[in-house]
Amino acid sequence: MAIDSSELLHNFTNRPGGDITLLIRALGVTYEEKPLPAGQSGYIEYDGTGYNIVVNSTENARRRRFTAAHELSHYLLHRDLLDDTGKLNRHTDVLFGAGAASNPPDPLSPFHEAQANRYAAKLLIPEHLVKTKFEELEQDVAALARLFDVSQPAMKIRLETLGLLPRS
């Protein structure tokens, strides 16, 4: 009996620090890490037969993990915006401001990018788990970041978003 995507997502978000690449592959998306141009963290593309996520192999492991979750979020939320051979390739280090000029305006808007970041955070740092672990680990941001395998800045932002820490 095949497992459905909602069950896969549920299982993934019920334990901290899960392997995002296993989730991607379980959902039928190919995953690859390879060197990409400086400032490009990753992309998702549809090649006419399936979806492929590519992540910049030169970035650190936690950055690659978040990028993979971000691209998976595009697959889950925005794949209807890809054409038959489209590529969602908007992932520079700077989404807004001067660096954003290297991001083409279509098919995704800054809203879609922010939405994918929020969903990636929900996948990697699920609210119900982080709230429990926040108390268990005595509000230690560094320990939480290690447990969930994310950067300390990403954990801090998630804790602020959930109202567990005051916004800085």
Please tell me the predicted confidence (pLDDT) of residue 95. Answer: 43
- DSSP label at residue 3: P
> How far is 10 from 155, CA to CA, in rounded Å?
20
Which residue stretches of the chain have pLDDT < 50? 1-2, 89-99
One-letter amino acid at 158 equals R
Q: What is the pLDDT of residues 47-88, one digit of tens each?
A: 888 899 999 999 999 999 999 999 999 999 988 877 655 655
Tokens of 94: 């700077």
Domain ranges of the chain: 9-109, 125-168
String of b and e for 125-158 (b: at least 16 CB within 10 Å)? bbeebbeebbeeeeeebeebbbbbbbeeebbbbb
CATH of domain 9-109: 1.10.10
Least Cα distance to 40 among 17, 24, 61, 63 occurs for: 63
Please tell me the predicted confidence (pLDDT) of residue 129. Answer: 97
Average per-residue pLDDT for the chain: 86
Please tell me the predicted confidence (pLDDT) of residue 86. Answer: 60
pTM value?
Answer: 0.86
